[in-house]
Structures are given as C-alpha cells and as structure tokens.
Amino acid sequence: MIVLGVLISGRGSNLMAIVKAIEEGRLNARVAVVLSNRADADGLVFAREKGIDAVWVDRGAFDSQAAYESDILVALQSGGVQWVVLAGYMRILGPTILAAYPDHVVNIHPSLLPDFKGLDVPRRVLESGVSEAGCTVHLVDETLDGGRILGQARVPVLQGDTEASLSARILVEEHRLYSQVLQSLSGL
Ligand code: GRF
C-alpha cells in the first residue's frame, strides 16, 4: 500500500475520485493528508467528512515560498507520505518539496502533454482546431508541466464543443486515469 499526500486548491474532484478508487478497492493506497493553499477549497470539506487530515496552509502567513513549502513538508513527512499527488493545486511547486520527494511528486494536467502546457487549456484546444484532447499524469520537476509522462487518456473534440463540454469530457478521463496510474506506482 502506498501513502499519499494530496495538494489541492479548489473543487477537489480528482481527490474525490482517488478516495472513491481506494474505497472500491481499485487503488491500494491511503490518503494520509490533504493540504490546500485556499481555505475555501471544497476538497478540504470533503476530506474532513472522510476523516482525512485536511489542512489549509496560508501562503500569506509565510515570508517566502521556501518557508511555506517547509510547513507543507512537515505535514507530509509527519503523515508518512510516500507520494505527493497534485490534484488541481494551482501553485508552482518549488525546490523544497521536490528535493524531499525526488521523482515522487505527480500531477494531472488536462491536455495531451507536451501540447498545451499551462492554464486555460480547453479554450486554447478549441481555438487551435485540433480533433483530439485528453489528459496526462506526469512526474513533477522544476519545469512547468514538463516531467516524465506516466499515463495519458484521449478524448475526441466534438463539433459544437464548448469549453464546458470539452472540460467535462476530459474530467471523466482524469478521474479514471489518475487512480490507474497511482495504482501502477504502488507496484514500484
Ligand atoms: C483538473 O482539470 C486538473 O487537470 C487540473 O486542475 C483541475 C482540478 O480539478 N490540474 P479538481 O480540483 O480535481 O476538480
């Protein structure tokens, strides 16, 4: 069994899908702690309802990114976290956590990387006219959405798609893919 620490900033639907996969026996893992940089993240409420340690870490309370990440690191390490899982965490991770968890930080991104790195992906996908979209789970390094790819899922871009309809189609695949890739990590 692998021990996960999940970093979020908002809705937390990927967190919820991971917890569901654990409950249904599709993922042999335990979520030791959920950390959010936003106090009002829905994912924090969900985690608390599930009895998972859920912590808001306020970046504004720290003088530097390093001090902020050190605080997160203490929570991860005291929870025995083996893999750091970014799930809609809207901050760039700095060297403090990456150095403590080399090749053990993963992220999910709503595009077929290396295409469409960064923010606002569905809008850019639609504007580009490509016929295929998807999502990627990858290792996190110091580059933006740039670490080694661990898994991808594809969806079609359909005629008449809006940002909302395309995002929803990708999100269904995100929820399936993330747990599947995490399960493959548990065998490492
Ligand atoms: C997802 O689309 C994920 O790919 C991106 O941020 C979104 C998070 O959604 N990194 P949620 O908070 O897991 O619902």
pLDDT of 169 > 70? The answer is yes
pLDDT of residue 186: 77
What are the pLDDT digits (tens) for 177-187? 999 999 999 76
* Index of the ligand 1 atom closest to the CA of residue 12: 12
Asked if residue 149 lies in contact with residue 107, where contact means CB atoms within 8 angstroms, the answer is: no
Lowest mean pLDDT among 16-20, 36-40, 75-79, 92-96: 92-96
Number of domains in the chain: 1
pLDDT of 17 > 80? The answer is yes
| Sheet hosting strand 53-56, strand order edge to edge | 53-56, 29-36, 2-8, 83-86, 105-109, 132-139, 149-156
pLDDT of residue 85: 98
- C-alpha span between 50 and 57 (Å, rounded): 19
What are the pLDDT digits (tens) for 119-167? 999 999 999 999 999 999 999 999 888 999 999 999 999 999 999 999 9
What is the residue range of 156's domain?
Answer: 2-187
Name the pTM for this structure. 0.96
* Index of the ligand 1 atom closest to the CA of residue 170: 2
Ligand 1 touching residue 147 (CB < 6 A):
no
pLDDT of residue 18: 98
CATH of the domain at 74: 3.40.50.170
Q: How many CB atoms lie within 10 A of CB 69?
A: 23
Distance from Cα 113 to the centre of ligand 1, integer Å: 15
Ligand 1 touching residue 87 (CB < 6 A):
yes
What are the pLDDT digits (tens) for 37-86? 999 999 999 999 999 999 999 999 999 999 999 999 999 999 999 999 99
Ligand 1 touching residue 11 (CB < 6 A):
yes
Distance from Cα 30 to the centre of ligand 1, integer Å: 20
> What tokens appear for 68 in the block?
């902020």
pLDDT of residue 139: 97
Ligand 1 touching residue 18 (CB < 6 A):
no
Distance from Cα 35 to the centre of ligand 1, integer Å: 15
Annotated catalytic residue 104: no
pLDDT of residue 188: 57
pLDDT of residue 187: 66
Ligand 1 touching residue 163 (CB < 6 A):
no
